[in-house]
């Protein structure tokens, strides 16, 4: 092993730094394999063609005519006004049937939601140099970025994003200093949406016939769970039929609560072999099950693939909130859902181990959770 990783001495006998750096970046995910270009800057440059790196193979390109397919199908809507028992029933039904739903009367104040949208739009409107002060690396992804995955020459998606950990929170230097109110409103929003996620996890636990606290405890308990956020900005695209804002993927964590753009659509959900467009209801959040819930529930609930299409006329902003197990928490099928008839389908991994794959490969459908299967 030693030989493989020893730094090559140069002619003068000292260590060749260029070799050390490139090996470090390969093993520690410290840097991107090629310079990162902000998609907003490409869009603003007025180019009439999408650069080759963003062009998807024919089979992956979206169909944009007639709303993109799905034959008018709609993801379910869950109203949380009806009390705990009704919510548990509706949530677990929506999750078994679709794995994706809209939630209304969720209790997160509308003014706070608007303040979050305003703050992040403000951030993305800053000059590129101001945003690049927060340029991220694949080690933690915290900060401003335009790329997921570290494979050189991999096709790229038409979007910029900002990634932040909320719980435990990213260190201060990762938080944009402008707009002024961004950090305060984002933290308040994070606390509210975390509460909503805990309610949803209670419903999902009850839907498995388990204690309401079951999934939350499995994720590490009130103090152990992790939350993070990705704010996505999909700029206008000159050839939306050739690319995607975000390639098909399932989310790696527990549950995702998405605040979609209030007037530009783009999210699509895979239903069997079709892509069903999501039309957000005003004031609703879009919720989906992610891979760790599929693993713990031994596939009673399944994570669902989704993707984002872009358009020529308007940019789109979305705020994805991820409620995850703590990084060091081991996640495997719960013994309560395993029996002779329902044997464990997945091994146990910590969430950090699991997430590493996604961080290296970028969006790859449901390949990771499927490849875990015994």
Kindly state the smallest distance separating residue 260's Cβ from ligand OGA, in Å: 6
Answer whether 314's CB lies under 8 Å from 240's CB: no
Q: Which two tokens stand for residue 104?
A: 């209304």
Kindly state the smallest distance separating residue 339's Cβ from ligand OGA, in Å: 33
Q: Of residues 90-129, which lie at the interface with ligand OGA (CB under 6 A)?
A: none
Distances (CA, A) of 220 to 226, 279, 325, 328: 9, 34, 6, 9
Size of the residue set binding ligand OGA (CB under 6 A): 12
**Residue 88 interaction partner, one of Ni ion, ligand OGA, none, beta carbon < 5-8 Å per kind:** none
SS3 per residue for 257-280: EEECCCCCCCEEEEECCEEEECCC
Calpha distance 220→204 (Å, rounded): 16
Q: How many residues comprise the chain?
A: 374
Radius of gyration of the chain (CA): 21
Q: Give the residue at shortest CB distance from Ni ion.
A: 251
- Residue closer to ligand OGA by CB (options 214, 354) is 354
**Residue 117 interaction partner, one of Ni ion, ligand OGA, none, beta carbon < 5-8 Å per kind:** none
Residue among 117, 147, 302, 306 that touches ligand OGA (CB under 6 A)? 306
- Residue closer to Ni ion by CB (options 142, 251) is 251
- Residue closer to ligand OGA by CB (options 56, 88) is 56
Residue among 269, 308, 309, 331 that touches ligand OGA (CB under 6 A)? 308
The residues facing 249 across adjacent strands are: 306, 365
Cα–chain-centroid distance for residue 144? 14
The residues facing 226 across adjacent strands are: 324
**Residue 319 interaction partner, one of ligand OGA, Ni ion, none, beta carbon < 5-8 Å per kind:** none
Distances (CA, A) of 294 to 305, 348, 363: 12, 12, 18
Q: Tell me: cis bond preceding 261? Omega within 30 of 0 counts.
A: no
291 lies in the site for Ni ion, by CB under 5 A: no
Dihedral sign of CA atoms 299, 105, 196, 171 in order: positive
Q: Of residues 231-260, which lie at the interface with Ni ion (CB under 5 A)?
A: 251
Kindly state the smallest distance separating residue 255's Cβ from ligand OGA, in Å: 12
Answer whether 130's CB lies under 8 Å from 179's CB: no
Calpha distance 344→213 (Å, rounded): 22
Residue among 42, 242, 320, 334 that touches ligand OGA (CB under 6 A)? 320
* Nearest partner of 281 among 38, 75, 32, judged by Cα: 75
Answer whether 69's CB lies under 8 Å from 275's CB: yes
- Residue closer to ligand OGA by CB (options 233, 334) is 233
Kindly state the smallest distance separating residue 68's Cβ from ligand OGA, in Å: 14
- Residue closer to Ni ion by CB (options 251, 265) is 251
**Residue 298 interaction partner, one of ligand OGA, Ni ion, none, beta carbon < 5-8 Å per kind:** none
**Residue 318 interaction partner, one of ligand OGA, Ni ion, none, beta carbon < 5-8 Å per kind:** ligand OGA
Q: Of residues 140-199, which lie at the interface with ligand OGA (CB under 6 A)?
A: none
**Residue 270 interaction partner, one of Ni ion, ligand OGA, none, beta carbon < 5-8 Å per kind:** none
The residues facing 349 across adjacent strands are: 331
Q: Of residues 240-279, which lie at the interface with ligand OGA (CB under 6 A)?
A: 246, 251, 258, 260, 266-267
Reading phi first (left if > 0) and then psi (alpha if -120 to 50, else beta), residue 46 is in left
Kindly state the smallest distance separating residue 69's Cβ from ligand OGA, in Å: 17
Query: Would you tell me which residues interact with ligand OGA (CB under 6 A)?
Result: 230, 232, 246, 251, 258, 260, 266-267, 306, 308, 318, 320
List of residues contacting Ni ion (CB under 5 A): 251
């Amino acid at each position: 092993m030693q030989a493989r990783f020893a730094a090559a001495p140069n002619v003068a006998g000292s260590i060749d730094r260029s070799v050390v750096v490139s090996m470090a970046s390969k093993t520690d995910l410290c840097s991107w394999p090629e310079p990162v270009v902000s998609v907003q800057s490409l869009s603003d440059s007025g180019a009439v063609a999408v650069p080759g790196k963003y062009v998807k193979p024919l089979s992956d390109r979206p169909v944009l005519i007639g709303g993109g397919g799905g034959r008018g199908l709609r993801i379910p809507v869950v109203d949380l006004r009806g009390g705990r028992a009704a919510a548990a029933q509706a949530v677990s039904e929506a999750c078994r049937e679709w794995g994706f739903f809209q939630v209304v009367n969720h209790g997160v104040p509308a003014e706070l939601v608007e303040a979050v949208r305003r703050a992040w739009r403000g951030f993305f409107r800053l000059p590129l140099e101001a945003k690049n002060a927060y340029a991220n690396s694949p080690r933690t992804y915290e900060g401003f970025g335009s790329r997921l995955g570290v494979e050189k020459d991999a096709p790229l998606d038409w979007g910029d994003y900002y990634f932040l950990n909320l719980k435990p929170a990213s260190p201060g230097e990762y938080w944009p200093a402008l707009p002024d109110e961004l950090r305060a409103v984002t933290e308040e929003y994070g606390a509210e949406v975390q509460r909503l996620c805990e309610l949803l996890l209670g419903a999902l636990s009850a839907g498995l016939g388990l204690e309401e606290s079951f999934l939350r405890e499995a994720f590490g308990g009130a103090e152990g769970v992790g939350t993070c956020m990705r704010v996505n900005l999909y700029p206008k695209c000159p050839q939306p039929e050739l690319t995607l804002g975000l390639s098909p993927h399932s989310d790696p964590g527990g549950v995702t609560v998405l605040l979609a753009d209030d007037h530009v659509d783009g999210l699509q959900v895979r239903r069997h072999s079709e892509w069903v467009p999501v039309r957000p209801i005003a004031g609703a959040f879009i919720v989906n099950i992610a891979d760790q819930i599929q693993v713990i529930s031994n596939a009673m609930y399944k994570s669902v693939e989704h993707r984002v299409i872009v358009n020529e006329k308007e940019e789109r902003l979305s705020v994805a909130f991820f409620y995850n197990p703590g990084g060091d928490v081991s996640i495997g099928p719960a013994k309560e859902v395993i029996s002779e008839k329902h044997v464990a389908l997945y091994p146990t991994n910590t969430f950090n181990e699991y997430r590493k794959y996604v961080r290296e490969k970028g969006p790859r459908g449901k390949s990771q959770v499927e490849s875990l299967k015994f």
